[in-house]
Structure 1
Amino acid sequence: MFGSLSEEVEVKVAVDEAWQVYGTMKFADIAAEVILERLDVIEGDGGVGTIIKVTFKPGSEISYYKEKFTIIDNEKRVKEAEIIEGGYLDIGFTLYRVRIEVKDNTNDNTRSSCLVKITIEYELKEEAAANASLVTIEPYVVLMKFANEHLLSSN
């Protein structure tokens, strides 16, 4: 079974400025400050191939997972990460990927805003199909709110 969810928000900063947060470890650092118990870099420097361990606060449905940055395209402003251990993989998922895209806002002629889109793609075994209901974009929407506040306050 395959599925996807996405959310797009406008950010009141230039596209390159937004990419400096969303395309780097800064987005993960904001997550660590806001909703995580801890975040550890297991391997890498924030580029493609970097592996991080995301540990959630007690009481979360998932205790931890490790994800690997599989794509960081600075020209297209696209970043992808896939869970490689723990988390959703422990409950029947065979793929859990998050894509972040930072795009020009074609409705803004001043180029003082951009669009950030987050997409979750997942696959899971048929016998675990009921677990698809556990996939939610909401934590990323919350993170986007904090990242956007960070961008606006640093302007």
Structure 2
Amino acid sequence: MFGELQHELELHAPASEAWDLFGTLRIGQLVAEELPQLFQSVELTEGDGGVGTVLKLTFAPGVGGPSGYKEKFTKIDNENRIKETEVVEGGYLELGFSLFRVRFEVIEKGEESSIIKSTIEYELNDDNASNASLVSIQSLVTIAELAKSYLNKNKPSTQ
């Protein structure tokens, strides 16, 4: 069984600024600092932010789904502003998923605006098909909204 969830949010920031946040480790650092209700911790366990980097995500108690997992950066396309991660240990893999991928795309809309498109793709074996109900885009929506707020607050002065 294959599934996909998507969300788009317009940002009032140039795509280059949004990519500086999403295309690096900065988004994980921001999430760890600003979303304790969602993430107990976001730890860098391997790498420097490039392809092959591994993060250990531990969700706050009470957040639905798995308690945590390790994800690996599998694609960072600076030209097209696409970053993909896949769960490589724990979490959804322990619930019968053979693939759990998160993709962030920063799409240029205009000189001072962009869209962050968040996608979850997953594959689940048929024996565990009922676990598809555990997949939610809500944490990515929250991260996109946090990024929007952060980018709006930290706009360079145009004076």
- TM-score, normalised via structure 2 length: 0.92
AA in 2 matched with 1:142: T
Tell me which stretches of 4 or more aligned residues in structure 1 moved more than 6 Å.
none
Q: Secondary structure at the match of 2:80?
A: coil
Q: Does 1:57 align with 2:53?
A: no
Measure, in 2, the Cα distance between the counterparts of 1:22 and 1:40.
16
Structure 2: gaps spanning 5 or more residues: none
- 1:81-111 superposed Cα distances (whole Å, 9 cap, x missing partner): 0000011111010000001100111xx4xx1
Q: Does 1:118 align with 2:121?
A: no
**Number of equivalences:** 151
Measure, in 1, the Cα distance between the counterparts of 2:101 and 2:31.
17
- 1:109-134 superposed Cα distances (whole Å, 9 cap, x missing partner): xx110111011000001010001011
Q: Does 1:154 align with 2:141?
A: no
The percentage of counterpart residues that share the same residue type is 48
- 1:54-74 superposed Cα distances (whole Å, 9 cap, x missing partner): 011123331110000000011
Deviation at 1:30, TM superposition (A): 2.0
Measure, in 1, the Cα distance between the counterparts of 2:153 and 2:2.
38
Q: Does 1:90 align with 2:97?
A: no
Deviation at 1:32, TM superposition (A): 1.3
Please, which of 55, 72, 76 is the counterpart of residue 76 of structure 2? 72
Q: Say whether the 8 Å CA contact 1:71–1:78 is kept in structure 2.
A: yes
Measure, in 2, the Cα distance between the counterparts of 1:152 and 1:141.
17
AA in 1 matched with 2:138: E
Match of 2:10 in 1: 10
Q: Secondary structure at the match of 1:123?
A: strand
AA in 1 matched with 2:55: I
Measure, in 1, the Cα distance between the counterparts of 2:49 and 2:69.
17
Q: Secondary structure at the match of 1:128?
A: helix
CA RMSD of aligned residues (A): 0.9
Q: Secondary structure at the match of 1:53?
A: strand
Q: Does 1:38 align with 2:41?
A: yes
Q: Does 1:103 align with 2:107?
A: yes
Q: Does 1:19 align with 2:19?
A: yes
AA in 2 matched with 1:29: Q
